[in-house]
């Protein structure tokens, strides 16, 4: 046994040493040195002593498990699990980033990457091209939406994840990547040699006019170039027409860099205006961020669209505009993330993203909804009750509340989804049918609409693909039947359930009739996007976008706009 243990110890030595170094970097440098140099408050000695004691305990447990556990264990994997377990006691935004995650974070912070210009996704278990970026190698050389990737650099894509393919397609600018694809309507696979290029991350994915004099910007993220992208979009709008009002769309924008949020706000408010402030645990942690340039649009009416997908930097922007009475907020309540993260490099291939403070809008309110730091005995995260939400005032004395994200000045509920459309999207049936149409039609008219014949073709397509789904009512009836069987109900109950099932089945055959408008709209946008591109699909969505239409109506009605942003709200 001693010889076996000796061999195991030698085999372990290299990995163990490497992992201990990583542990030291994370534990000693980040925690201990951070305490020694930064946390200079009363009681520091006691905190330092406890930290050192528990670091020793952690190290002993780790060493004992790695050396003495009954089965061989991976020291690095055990260490990562320990780090993840520690961080899970905090909040979901404090995370350890490995090499892959650090690369993605680098993409956000630099605002660019080297790739071939494709967006991919998994469709029927096959890596499929969802869209291509205009002006880059994939689009220029003929890659199309719907192409199924068979090989990449001679390696079969079968069994690869989207992350695997993405990593293969990215690399050093100027290098090449060979891709073999399968395309509907083509008898044989097609091979492309694509050139990697430096590609800027698109922050503004659409800009244009949605009504006479009303400009529209869709801002989807806050990477390093977000402020400059907004600046360029405003310049283009001015060149194309007379910009009398503007709508900024932040829906489904998860956020990004705080300084880019300040940069965006600076384009619309007077110079040296407070945009956001942050404050952490340390006494010297408070920072105030002000707009730092003359605004490009400081007087035109403005509306901002938000929803539950608008978070972090999006909420900094929306909160600043609301508190400064600079824009009318339209849509639904935002996500409610008011925590600030700082990224620290732990090693060459890893980083720690850690929550270091909270941010506050110009009125002084925090929009953080979930309280990760005061959980119930069961570890459940709490939400501040309405009775404890504090009141703040905007520049024009309007009442706003803290603790629940950004509440719109004009609430416009999102259109309720139906199970049929959800399943059509989840199973990529809309996408596949659009590809099918694209293989038959190379162009469509500018006023393209889905007519009855296309809808019939779509129904036939679904039958060919054996599309099946279960409506919510069917699920509920199954649950009712199971409950009745459990309770041993009599025959009459089952007869009633049978009648309900039959009625639901008959109604299900009318699903396309019941959701005719929604299905036609979804198909129309999918087909336009497939044949004319993403920007054309976005533009085509405007007429059915109720939230956008309300925003446009508000900024065009000067008296209503002024009334919504002024006055004393009790």
Helix pair 516-532, 419-426: axis angle to 10 deg: 30
For 524, residues 6+ apart whose C-beta sits below 8 A from its C-beta are 448, 449, 450, 540
- Catalytic residue from among 312, 314, 334, 521: 312
For residue 354 the two structure tokens come to 């850690």
- Catalytic residue from among 323, 409, 534, 545: 323
Contact 477, 502 (CB under 8 A): no
2 noted as active-site residue: no
323 noted as active-site residue: yes
Contact 129, 143 (CB under 8 A): yes
H, E, C per residue of 311-350: CCHHHHHHHHHHHCCCCEEEECCCCCCCEEEEEEEEECCE
CA–CA gap between residue 146 and residue 156 (Å, rounded): 18
DSSP H helices in 370-428: 419-426
Q: Which of 8, 49, 10, 12 is nearest to 32 (CA)?
A: 49
Q: Which of 207, 258, 249, 199 is nearest to 229 (CA)?
A: 207
- Catalytic residue from among 229, 263, 337, 432: 337
CA–CA gap between residue 50 and residue 56 (Å, rounded): 10
272 noted as active-site residue: no
For residue 397 the two structure tokens come to 């004395």
Cα-based angle 374, 378, 383 (whole degrees, multiple of 5): 40
Point out the residues that are catalytic: 312, 323, 337
């Amino acid at each position: 046994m001693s010889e076996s243990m000796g061999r195991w110890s030698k085999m372990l030595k290299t990995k163990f040493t490497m992992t201990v170094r990583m542990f030291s970097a994370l534990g000693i440098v980040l925690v201990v040195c951070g305490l020694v140099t930064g946390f200079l408050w009363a009681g520091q000695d006691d905190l330092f002593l406890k930290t050192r004691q528990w670091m020793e305990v952690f190290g002993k447990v780790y060493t004992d498990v790695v050396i003495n556990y009954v089965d061989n264990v991976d020291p690095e994997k055990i260490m990562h699990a320990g780090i993840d377990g520690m961080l899970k006691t905090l909040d979901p935004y404090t995370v350890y980033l490995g090499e892959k995650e650090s690369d993605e974070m680098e993409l956000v912070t630099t605002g660019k990457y080297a790739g071939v210009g494709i967006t991919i996704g998994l469709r029927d278990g096959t890596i499929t091209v969802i869209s291509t970026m205009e002006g880059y190698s994939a689009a220029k050389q003929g890659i199309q939406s719907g192409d199924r990737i068979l090989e990449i650099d001679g390696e079969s894509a079968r069994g690869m994840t989207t992350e695997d393919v993405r990593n293969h397609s990215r690399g050093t600018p100027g290098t090449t990547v060979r891709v073999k694809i399968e395309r509907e309507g083509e008898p044989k696979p097609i091979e492309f040699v694509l050139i990697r290029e430096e590609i800027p991350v698109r922050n503004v994915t659409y800009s244009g006019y949605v009504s006479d004099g009303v400009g529209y910007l869709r801002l989807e993220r806050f990477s390093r170039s977000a402020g400059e992208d907004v600046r360029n979009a405003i310049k283009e709008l001015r060149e194309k027409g007379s910009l009398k009002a503007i709508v900024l769309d932040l829906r489904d924008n998860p956020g990004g860099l705080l300084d880019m949020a300040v940069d965006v706000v600076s384009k619309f408010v007077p110079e040296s205006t407070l945009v956001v402030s942050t404050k952490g645990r340390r006494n010297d942690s408070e920072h105030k961020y002000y707009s730092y340039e003359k605004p490009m649009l400081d007087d035109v009416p403005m509306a901002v669209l938000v929803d539950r997908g608008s978070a972090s930097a999006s909420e900094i922007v929306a909160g600043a505009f609301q508190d400064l009475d600079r824009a009318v907020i339209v849509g639904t309540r935002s996500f409610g993330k008011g925590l600030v993260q700082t990224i620290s490099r732990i090693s060459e291939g890893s980083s720690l993203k850690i929550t270091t403070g909270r941010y506050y809008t110009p009125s002084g309110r925090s929009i953080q909804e979930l309280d990760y730091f005061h959980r119930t005995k069961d570890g459940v995260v709490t939400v501040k009750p309405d009775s404890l939400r504090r009141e703040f005032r905007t520049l024009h004395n309007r009442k706003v509340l803290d603790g629940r994200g950004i509440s719109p000045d004009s609430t416009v509920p999102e259109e309720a989804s139906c199970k049929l459309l959800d399943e059509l999207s989840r199973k990529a049936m809309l996408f596949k049918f659009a590809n099918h149409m694209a293989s038959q039609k190379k162009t469509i008219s500018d006023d393209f609409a889905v007519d009855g014949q296309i809808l019939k073709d779509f129904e036939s397509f679904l039958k060919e693909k054996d599309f099946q789904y279960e409506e919510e009512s069917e699920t509920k009836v199954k649950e009712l039947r199971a409950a009745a069987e459990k309770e041993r109900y009599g025959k009459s109950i089952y007869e009633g359930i049978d009648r309900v099932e039959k009625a639901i089945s008959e109604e299900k055959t009318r699903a396309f009739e019941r959701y005719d408008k929604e299905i036609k709209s979804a198909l129309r946008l999918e087909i336009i996007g497939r044949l004319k591109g993403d920007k054309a699909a976005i533009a085509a969505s405007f007429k059915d976008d109720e939230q956008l239409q309300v925003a446009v109506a508000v900024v065009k009605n000067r008296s209503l706009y002024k009334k919504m942003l002024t006055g004393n709200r009790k």
